[in-house]
Structure 1
């Protein structure tokens, strides 16, 4: 079985790394499976993609479509055109896409139009918020996927409700957690640790990038002021996403305890997350990592596609109203934050389960 694995944006690399490792292990043990890694180039900043190949032991891509930049429509079109050429030159038995970025949807569509089957890792998650580009990507991808690898029972239910039959749904767990647990002992202390004189559980990590939080300058300013005001003077480490950096220009937001830093590598960022008093974010993937690391987390969104981080984990969804920051911080400082637990099958063994299913599907095809 020849599998083309698609990656293009920062979250993809954490998800594909363990799958590649599991395929190599199975192949080297005599299984009839191999892979071709396709980097769409959706993220082209080194901190947003290049570092992951080194830190997560991912081989250099067999092909780079170099389809970064432009609007979402332009990027989608560029990926589809170039991936079609890739499939014409190197036709696989299966295209494996992960997550919910533009590359995921674009490559799934292209593969199906060329009659190549598609497997979607992290299928079935839903925010039910159609203002999010990621939600559109999820819906379109899952509408044309052949095999669904899921992270939760709720994702399974979402797929069933959309008409997917159980024989195509495989509840395997979360490959992001495979990567997290494998690399936990390798986390790297970033320079800001010494520069800001940080101590364990005595600082905050902040990430913001979603339009609801960063597109309106006045709203972003009020939100930042609330976070600063209620942080009790503890350091706030803010790795600034390029989108957010643009929005922050000219706002004049500063405080003695607020530290803007360049985007961090995976191993550096999670070094900070693991030791933080709390993480404040609007990212979905980070809430999965804080859940497994046992770190309190608040999500500045009105919805989430990862409800298990709330029902089981350490995350709380507080919305986008800046007034919600104060009670959340007060709850943290009072010592009343929930302890949380680990969702089912988030055990670091998801990728081998995926490969096992792929081999079983191949055996069925042969019959």
Structure 2
């Protein structure tokens, strides 16, 4: 049986980052992944993911976001891939909307550079948008997007260059702790042993961590690319040179998020509901986007973007793995000290990829981390069965 310092189970967004960081620290790393690098079966595809720092989910995330931004720059340099684009971001809503109010609170608490815009100023600055008359927006220049598929590939390429052994198309059947304090992992190709294990299973967390009975909901999400009316608003106003990423919810109309046109007019203008998913099995996802779903997205999109009237370029499904409090699950396995886990990223985790890789490497090598992860404790009451 092959034996390694550490096995990483799952080489998607977080597992790829963990394998990269562990290999860079000189460990003998084996990574196992069911699919191909940068695949579209989980939660790390679709061309773009938002990065932002004025975090309405909780100000506690901001120090980790600052660390993650350093990691994005480092990964770009190490991989030679174009990963991060800061085109600015705006978070809109009525004055009491959490999207606006909590983003502003986080920016003020941490002294982040930002602007507060009223509806008239939003329309002037961004003529694609027509928010409600009482809407407000928190604008930050240090926001934008990252490329998910490119990120996963970048991490695995750099990890392999640093000596990691990465096996794709090899699905883990089971893992177990061994009496000597190590772990054993079984796949159809063989059995592997290691001193330590990192479990980053994405939407397969319920199958890979059944002993924890984590109350995670795996949800089918859809995002869309619509064609804007560029006669009404010139094409350049929809582009990343002049348009920010955005999140909006006004008077409870359902939070949406999206991006400028990042790949030219032919690529369309991407958006989706942030949390309007349906429970699913990650091995039996309905990958067809239905006409009633598209019609509902169009209706909602027109509330903010009245000129987003052209054809649908494409629509894709994605998976969110959502914790009851929508905070992440990161820490040492409650039953096995030699195992680190990271899952339940609840639709907003991708921007943290580099720092999660650091955290998992810390937990693996030291059993603890100096980075603030108390919010993500696998033992917190909301996760208890």
TM range (shorter): 0.3 to 0.5
Greater share of helix residues, 1 or 2?
A: 1
The TM-score with structure 1 as length reference comes to 0.35
The TM-score with structure 2 as length reference comes to 0.34
Greater share of strand residues, 1 or 2?
A: 2
Which structure exhibits the higher relative contact order, with contacts defined as CA atoms closer than 8 Å and separated by 6 or more residues?
2
